[in-house]
Amino acid sequence: MPGDHPGQSSHAYRFPYGPVAIVTPFNFPLEIPALQLMGALYMGNHPLLKVDEKVAVVMDQFMRLLHRCGLPLEDVDMVQCSGETMHALLLEADPRCTLFTGSSRVADILARDLKGKVKLEGSGFDWKVLGPDVPDAAGQEYIAHVCDQDAHACSGQKCSAQSLLVVHRNWADAGLYGRLGAMAAQRSLHDLTVGPTLSVSTATVKAHVAKLLALPGAELLWGGEELNGGQHNIPAQFGAMQPTAVRVPIEAVLANIHLCCTELFAPFQVVTEYTDEQLPLVLQLLEAQEEHLTAAVVSNDLVFQHEVLSKTTNGTTYVGLRARTTGAPQNHWFGPAGDPRAAGIGTADAIRQTWSCHREIIQDFAAVDKGWALPART
């Protein structure tokens, strides 16, 4: 980028915003606030941090650790309060930028009230497509295991948890549902492979399942009941559902996209199937959703991969037979993809883009020619 003349040169810098805020949810009590806080600090900002009050004690301890390690007390402000209080605080403080991780509904309210001075990681809706190429038995077992983990681990309360599984007919024919159902059946309260859902009750999940089962051709694949037939000590305000899946024909999904693509933040997923000829319907479905978070294209078929990737938009998209939607901490770029408000997390590029802004400084220092005079007006 040369200048107009000798002595002029232009340099781009990434500058901190200065005063910023961070608001994070219950489901990752440490990872999300710690990574975003450190990113904000690395870029030179002064963060005000608020963690969901149900789990704030975890980050509170981490702050004490940071102080013990040398973080100056005045570099971070951590506030313990409800979401309503934080909302009022943000309106009054008007930080240069607020990072919010949480539900799309609250994200939109914040974005409106803060006039867009936000970076968001909405909850999104995460899908996985299994392509036409089915590997050998070990490969099928491995991929079923990844699907089970993506949908059911932490009772489906990862922001990147798989909520829609789009299955090529070849996989259905190879017995995928049997493998998945068996894995789901192994999960139990006893070994903590299932547990309570904090933001959605058993009744809510059951009602949603019932609506889906009323769609033409829908059927329950596994689950659908309360854990242990209701014999547990999970408090009533939380949910306690078995890992659950409902299969809905793709035509019915397309005719009821809003219903089928509602995220529950519970161990629940919609499953649908397609044939080679129906791939265009799949692409239509994937792009009909508003929110794009993570996605996975489980296939080693390069032409298939390209067809799906080039016609969809997701912040973080895994591709290949080992593709997953959750659990790969080195590649974090979530948020509402295809959206100027999208935040990233964890990588150097994500930290730079989320926590700093562009400043262009142009040097222009050449001496003025001794004979210079004002140009004549004509």
Residues 83-122 that bind a copy of itself (CB under 8 A): 96-97, 108, 111-119
* C-alpha span between 265 and 348 (Å, rounded): 29
Q: Categorise residue 175: left if φ over 0, alpha if ψ from -120 to 50, beta otherwise.
A: left
Nearer to a copy of itself, 172 or 357 (CB): 357
What one-character DSSP code corresponds to residue 292? -
211-270 residues near a copy of itself, rule: CB under 8 A: none
166-185 residues near a copy of itself, rule: CB under 8 A: 183
231, 233, 237, 378: which one binds a copy of itself (CB under 8 A): 378
Q: Is 86 in contact with 110 (CB distance < 8 Å)?
A: no
Q: Considering only 159-167, 196-204, 269-277, 303-311, which stretch makes contact with a copy of itself by CB under 8 A?
A: 303-311
Based on the residue annotation, tell me whether 97 is a catalytic residue of this protein.
no
330-359 residues near a copy of itself, rule: CB under 8 A: 330-331, 333, 337-342, 344, 347, 349-350, 353, 357-359
Four-point Cα dihedral 72, 118, 122, 326, nearest 10: -50
Based on the residue annotation, tell me whether 141 is a catalytic residue of this protein.
no
Q: Is 33 in contact with 26 (CB distance < 8 Å)?
A: no
Nearer to a copy of itself, 237 or 378 (CB): 378
2-41 residues near a copy of itself, rule: CB under 8 A: 2-4, 6-8, 10-12, 15, 17-18
Four-point Cα dihedral 277, 280, 281, 282, nearest 10: 100
Q: Considering only 74-82, 137-145, 219-227, 253-261, which stretch makes contact with a copy of itself by CB under 8 A?
A: 137-145
* Span between the terminal Cα atoms of the chain, in Å: 33
At residue 168, what is the residue type? H
Q: Considering only 25-33, 50-58, 225-233, 298-306, which stretch makes contact with a copy of itself by CB under 8 A?
A: 298-306
142, 169, 204, 254: which one binds a copy of itself (CB under 8 A): 142
* C-alpha span between 209 and 245 (Å, rounded): 9
Catalytically active residues are 121, 159
